[in-house]
Structure 1
Amino acid sequence: MTSAFTTLPLATPLLATLDELNYSATTPVQAQALPHVLAGKDVIVQARTGSGKTAAFALGLLQKLEVQRFRVQSLVLCPTRELADQVAEEIRTLGRGMHNIKVLTLCGGVPQRAQIISLEHGAHIIVGTPGRILDHLNNQRIDFSELTTLVLDEADRMLEMGFQDDLKAIIKTTPKNRQTLLFSATYPSQIEQLATGLLQQPETIVVADAPEQSSIQQAFYSLNGVPRDNAVKRLLQAYQPASCVVFCNTKRATQAMADSLRAQGYSALALHGDLEQKDRDQTLVQFNNRSARILVATDVAARGLDITDLDLVINSEIAHDTDTHVHRIGRTGRAGAEGLAVTLVAEGEQHGLSLIEDLLARQNQQYRIELKALPEQKLLTQEPLAAAMVTLQILGGKKHKLRPGDIVGALTKDNQVPFSEIGKIQVQAAWSYVAVSPEKERVALHVLNNNRLKGRSFRAFRVR
């Protein structure tokens, strides 16, 4: 079920921005949730990652925002910094036609000083993680007395990460007559208990919990005694994906898999909870800009991370539950694109396999999982595909007034680096990243280190 955004009671600037972004029709979650959100009702939404839920609440926040009242009017709580950054960016994008809106991101893993200064200048909308929000509250840096809307995004994930007490403490500081929107991929008993004490006469919306079979093809391979890292390498050589996420169930298995792949020349990076925030950020930058073909990750990467255009998902181990399996494979085949997800199955994992088969059977009564034989070992004699790009970091960013155009202009001056050899550019607060082809790495570094940007000199180096 979808409809045109023009049928909704949205302000003209919001409709104009949606038109500029070529957002004409709502997704199912937006079609079902937005009318209730815009009517000011409390809403519970159960929908998978990639369903368009962020716009479903972002448009509601922006529609009711009183720009002239410079107070915190909306709070969005997220489980991870990556999701908070993504949500804040989407709110800014959707609200760019409205003048002087300030969206502030408050998350752990970064120094507090810049956040404290930003808070002193005020904000309309705050997006952040529970721990850091509570820290600022305890130090009386935030006032939620005029808050009108509270959003819990990926609520199940926040509870899984142990944020329940932090959430309760934060919620106590907000007005009781606020609007509350709860978004969750799953609806376990913990979420039900949280919702009961939090929302008032909520509208409940459940959007299909599994990706459409037409967009994601699944395959299951029997390990038959083959080591998991060897099996993953065979699959990578057989499918030759431009980008692939390999899921593991533990941080130790994730790091071991990534180390094994890199030792054999694969362009692979690890993403798990033991990494420092800076390393997590750089890992995602490199993967998204094609400086690495393979991301080996724990399930933290299954939700909330801005991973796009993914060719292949490999479950090196069966997920602990079917909800997690659904979210893993949902990283591919997004926005209607074709996707492929493969799962490795060892002896003793029949129970988990049966649960997945039951899930698929509910979608297609004729469906039965057939275990395939792994691709042949001789594929490993071939050289792994190299990454298409390399990532350069510039020690200058938004606070230095740098923009993507400044970086492109410097690189392309006198055709030193052709525009076609430049990939994604990300400008952050204190530094920037630019992807270039491996052939132009040395030239690009020479240009960036020996020329001025915005009248200043900045150091640049390759991220490895």
Structure 2
Amino acid sequence: MLKQFETHFKALGYSEPTAIQDAVYGPMAGDHNVLGLAPTGSGKTVAFTLPALANLLPGDGIQLIVLEPSQELAIQTSRVMRDWAKLLDLKVAALTGGANVKRQTERLKKRPEIVVGTPGRVLNLVNDRKLKLHLVSMLIIDEADDLLNGDTLATVREIAQAAPADVQLGFFSATDTPILHELDQWFGQTVERIDVREQDQTQGKVRHGMLQVGMGKRDQMLKRLLAIPNFRALVFFKQTNALQHTATKFYHDHVSATSLTSDLRQVQREKALQDFRLGRTRLLLTTDVAARGLDIPKLPAVINYDLPSGVNEYVHRVGRTGRMGEPGQVISLGDDHDLRDLKKLLKETDYDLVPLYFNGRKLTTERPVATVKPEETPTPGTNAGTQTTSKPTAKVDIKSVTVKGQSKSTTKPAAKAQAAGPVTPNPSKKKKHKNRHSKNKGMRKKWRDRDAQQSE
């Protein structure tokens, strides 16, 4: 390692290189093609940055191309590399989709030695002859398991073919996929495989929990989780429509949340990510666009609002927490059926999924016990199964007289009603109603007779 790098390495608070940083430095500095496999949060960006920069010459044009799967990751990587590149007087330019093409073209005119970008934008600039690769000596494909998949594979290969035939290749990933075993066939060069996933010790203790919540109550559960002190979380959705529905609801309810989706402009995406990193917002609602490579220091939790459909997807999501020795919590929401499917999906992994419960403004693994109210002890003289309520009785002076063998009281109406108690109606007596129809009928006959006499 260069002396400038060693000094800066210690200034950043690092005591020693991580497993991946130590394993790939020698081969990459010696012009070997490398595939580096290491867990999320193990320092892969610095691992390929240090040996790659060591072979560059200041002022010699574009010599290094780094491809990233998303705008956020490209910007993050460019910032990390710029921090180290300034030690060697090297310049870094970021070329991402969604940004202003003219501004990016102006940056290329300043002849940077390093270009970090997304494959689509890089290939467009190459085809438009705005970006020339004839001096490129190294091509690094970060998050290779994602970039070498589907249509992106063809784009990456076109970029590699536009570079010189002896260009040095570097592939880095946190998960292994079948295509990573076929790199020799796809790129026509021998690639050295370096896998330190078993030796790496950089990850902190991460607890993986399952919280049983129905789909209709998940927004409410997110609000309840915010009652936990210092709680912040990256919340993953599958579909943008569901994310926007929750984001709109939280906006009207003044919940501390923001969204990060692929349809936002680059400025909006950068602001959302920056606000979340600085703690201005406590929930960042996103899709798998933020599942790869993003470094959010000391992120307490990751929430799977919608459960992942694959093991690699789960690995990259949960890799946002527990980075560089920090503890973390993963909370997967779902009904009983969803959580059973998740356990089946991850049964071949080392993840230990445990049930979680929200009780008393905290998450616990102990099932809450319903409290039963103690039964009231009956008072002496009353039945155990019934409760009697005593009401004060008013003293009433009743003067009774006998009329034809019946007792008749001459009390006041209120006292009489109170003493007599409830009166049961007599079904034999019917209340007489006036027959208004009959009365009107008689009046009409009387009026007709009067009119007849007047007419005579």
TM-score bracket for the superposition, by shorter chain length: 0.7 to 0.9
Q: Please give the per-residue CA displacement for 1:363-390, whole angstroms capped at 9, x wherever unaligned.
A: xxxx5x44334447999xxxxxxxxxxx
After TM superposition, the structure 1 = structure 2 runs for residues 53-202 of structure 1, keeping only pairs within 5 Å, are 53-68=44-59, 70-99=60-89, 101-160=90-149, 162-194=151-183, 196-198=185-187, 200-202=189-191
Q: Please give the per-residue CA displacement for 1:239-272, whole angstroms capped at 9, x wherever unaligned.
A: 3344211111221222222233333331001112
Over 3 Å counting, the alpha-carbon distance change for 1:223 and 1:181 in structure 2 is: same
- State the alpha-carbon separation in 2 of the partners of residues 195 and 79 from structure 1: 22
Asked whether 1:320 is paired with 2:309, we answer yes
Map of 2:331 onto structure 1: 342
Map of 2:286 onto structure 1: 297
Task: Say whether the 8 Å CA contact 2:211–2:331 is kept in structure 1.
Answer: yes
- State the alpha-carbon separation in 1 of the partners of residues 201 and 312 from structure 2: 11
Displacement after TM superposition at 1:155 (Å): 1.9
SS in 2 for 1:273: coil
Map of 2:276 onto structure 1: 287
Query: Which amino acid in 2 is paired with 1:36?
Result: P
Q: Please give the per-residue CA displacement for 1:419-439, whole angstroms capped at 9, x wherever unaligned.
A: xxxxxxxxxxxxxxxxxxxxx
Query: Which amino acid in 2 is paired with 1:351?
Result: D
Q: Please give the per-residue CA displacement for 1:307-342, whole angstroms capped at 9, x wherever unaligned.
A: 222112111222111222222222112211111111
Over 3 Å counting, the alpha-carbon distance change for 1:263 and 1:132 in structure 2 is: same
- State the alpha-carbon separation in 2 of the partners of residues 280 and 189 from structure 1: 32
- TM value normalised by structure 1: 0.72
Map of 1:240 onto structure 2: 229
- State the alpha-carbon separation in 2 of the partners of residues 292 and 235 from structure 1: 14
Task: Say whether the 8 Å CA contact 1:287–1:294 is kept in structure 2.
Answer: yes
Over 3 Å counting, the alpha-carbon distance change for 1:73 and 1:166 in structure 2 is: same
Task: Say whether the 8 Å CA contact 2:203–2:326 is kept in structure 1.
Answer: no
- State the alpha-carbon separation in 1 of the partners of residues 98 and 205 from structure 2: 36
Backbone CA RMSD of aligned residues: 2.6
Query: Which amino acid in 2 is paired with 1:175?
Result: P
Displacement after TM superposition at 1:195 (Å): 5.1
- State the alpha-carbon separation in 2 of the partners of residues 32 and 104 from structure 1: 27
SS in 2 for 1:292: coil
Map of 2:257 onto structure 1: 268
SS in 1 for 2:132: coil
Map of 2:430 onto structure 1: none
Query: Which amino acid in 2 is paired with 1:371?
Result: P
Gaps of 5+ in 1: 1-9, 362-366, 380-464
Over 3 Å counting, the alpha-carbon distance change for 1:218 and 1:241 in structure 2 is: farther
- State the alpha-carbon separation in 1 of the partners of residues 215 and 128 from structure 2: 56
Over 3 Å counting, the alpha-carbon distance change for 1:171 and 1:278 in structure 2 is: same
Map of 2:356 onto structure 1: 372
SS in 2 for 1:115: helix
Over 3 Å counting, the alpha-carbon distance change for 1:264 and 1:375 in structure 2 is: farther
Task: Say whether the 8 Å CA contact 2:204–2:323 is kept in structure 1.
Answer: no
- State the alpha-carbon separation in 2 of the partners of residues 127 and 75 from structure 1: 6
Task: Say whether the 8 Å CA contact 1:232–1:316 is kept in structure 2.
Answer: no
Asked whether 1:231 is paired with 2:221, we answer yes
- State the alpha-carbon separation in 1 of the partners of residues 125 and 215 from structure 2: 52
Map of 2:429 onto structure 1: none
- State the alpha-carbon separation in 2 of the partners of residues 142 and 23 from structure 1: 36
Map of 2:321 onto structure 1: 332
Displacement after TM superposition at 1:194 (Å): 4.6
- State the alpha-carbon separation in 1 of the partners of residues 257 and 230 from structure 2: 12
Query: Which amino acid in 1 is paired with 2:331?
Result: V
Asked whether 1:31 is paired with 2:25, we answer no
- State the alpha-carbon separation in 1 of the partners of residues 12 and 355 from structure 2: 43
Task: Say whether the 8 Å CA contact 1:251–1:274 is kept in structure 2.
Answer: no
Displacement after TM superposition at 1:55 (Å): 0.8
- State the alpha-carbon separation in 2 of the partners of residues 171 and 182 from structure 1: 12
- State the alpha-carbon separation in 1 of the partners of residues 48 and 78 from structure 2: 12
Displacement after TM superposition at 1:129 (Å): 1.0
Map of 2:13 onto structure 1: 22
Task: Say whether the 8 Å CA contact 1:321–1:352 is kept in structure 2.
Answer: no
SS in 2 for 1:76: strand
Q: Which moved more, 1:192-201 or 1:30-39?
A: 192-201
Task: Say whether the 8 Å CA contact 2:258–2:285 is kept in structure 1.
Answer: yes
- State the alpha-carbon separation in 1 of the partners of residues 344 and 230 from structure 2: 28
Task: Say whether the 8 Å CA contact 1:18–1:94 is kept in structure 2.
Answer: no
Task: Say whether the 8 Å CA contact 1:246–1:315 is kept in structure 2.
Answer: yes
Map of 1:359 onto structure 2: 349
Over 3 Å counting, the alpha-carbon distance change for 1:307 and 1:63 in structure 2 is: same
SS in 1 for 2:47: helix
SS in 1 for 2:226: helix
Displacement after TM superposition at 1:214 (Å): 5.3
- State the alpha-carbon separation in 2 of the partners of residues 372 and 90 from structure 1: 37
Matched-pair identity in %: 31
SS in 2 for 1:278: helix
Map of 2:38 onto structure 1: 47
Over 3 Å counting, the alpha-carbon distance change for 1:343 and 1:212 in structure 2 is: farther
Task: Say whether the 8 Å CA contact 1:105–1:128 is kept in structure 2.
Answer: yes
